[in-house]
């Protein structure tokens, strides 16, 4: 299994809703990442988890809350989002934090209305 | 400032033709360079990855080159197919603190292959 699986593929939520994005990998990777990508722009790093601990937070607003329940799962909890948060959210993993081969999931297309 | 610049921004070619995409970077300290293919609304898929000492790497119809002296890379696509239509992103890995390598993304080249 060489895949990073993200669910849901699409999500529409209101500004008062609470929702979660999920990411799963079974490659034994110990580093996992959340990226945000706006249309026609490169991905922007949001969070890095290293051995299930948050190691990098790129000054992301608190309405985005990451969680790493175990080495295979990564969640992104969403609350009180703004329409400008609408984007493609990508999860990625790599064998170790220092490893540079990152495998990306297919992304969740989020629309905030 | 760590930057990755790609050219052209967009490119249209006919099916069966070859094309070359360019990537210039100013990233230090350099760790490696990779090319990704990203279909619209999907996650990036790795095509090639090259370290400082590698000049050329191929993956099927894709051939990447790296000149670490001039800090330039290219991705050559031969005998293009309609399925090659996508964005091609150059990503340079930069050694970061705490044992983490930060990925510096280019803006991508949007390739359209027409029949």
Tens of pLDDT along B75-114?
999 999 999 999 999 999 887 666 667 788 999 999 999 9
CB-nearest partner of A104 from B44, B49, B101 = B44
Chain-chain contact of A98 with B100 (C-beta, under 8 angstroms): yes
- Facing B100 at nearest CB: one of A4, A42, A56: A56
> Would an 8 Å CB–CB cutoff place A109 in contact with chain B?
yes
At B40-59, the pLDDT tens digits run: 888 999 999 898 888 999 99
What lies within 8 Å, CB to CB, of B44 at 6+ separation is A43, A90, A104, B36, B37, B38, B89
N- to C-terminal Cα distance for chain B? Answer: 41
Cβ atoms of A14 and A113 within 8 Å: the answer is yes
Query: Are B10 and B109 a contacting pair, CB within 8 Å?
Result: yes
pLDDT of residue B102: 79
From B4, B12, B7, B5, select the one nearest B109 (Cα to Cα): B7
In b/e form, how buried is each residue of B67-91, taking b as 16+ CB within 10 angstroms? ebeebebbbebeebeeebbbbbbbb
A26-72 per-position pLDDT tens digit: 999 999 999 999 988 889 999 999 899 998 888 899 999 999 999 99
User: Best residue in A42, A53, A55, A92 to probe B by mutation, most B CBs within 10 Å?
Assistant: A42
User: Among B15, B27, B29, which residue's Cα sits nearest to residue B91?
Assistant: B27
């Amino acid at each position: 299994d060489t895949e990073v699986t993200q669910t849901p593929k699409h999500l529409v939520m209101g500004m008062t809703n609470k929702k979660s994005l999920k990411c799963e990998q079974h490659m034994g990777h110990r580093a996992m990442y959340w990226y945000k990508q706006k249309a026609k722009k490169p991905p922007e790093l949001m969070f890095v988890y290293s051995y299930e601990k948050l190691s990098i937070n790129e000054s992301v607003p608190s309405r985005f809350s990451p969680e790493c329940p175990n080495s295979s799962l990564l969640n992104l909890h969403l609350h009180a989002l703004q329409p400008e948060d609408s984007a493609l959210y990508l999860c990625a993993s790599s064998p170790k934090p220092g490893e540079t081969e990152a495998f990306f999931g297919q992304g969740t297309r989020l629309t905030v209305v | 400032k760590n930057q990755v610049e790609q050219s052209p921004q967009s490119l249209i070619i006919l099916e069966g033709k070859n094309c070359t995409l360019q990537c210039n970077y100013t990233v230090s300290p350099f760790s490696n360079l990779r090319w990704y293919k990203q279909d619209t609304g999907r996650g990036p898929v790795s095509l090639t990855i090259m370290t400082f000492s590698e000049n050329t790497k191929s993956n099927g119809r894709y051939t990447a080159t790296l000149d670490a002296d001039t800090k330039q890379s290219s991705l050559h696509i031969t005998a293009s197919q309609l399925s090659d239509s996508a964005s091609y992103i150059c990503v340079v890995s930069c050694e970061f603190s705490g044992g983490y390598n930060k990925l510096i993304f280019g803006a991508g080249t949007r390739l359209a292959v027409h029949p």
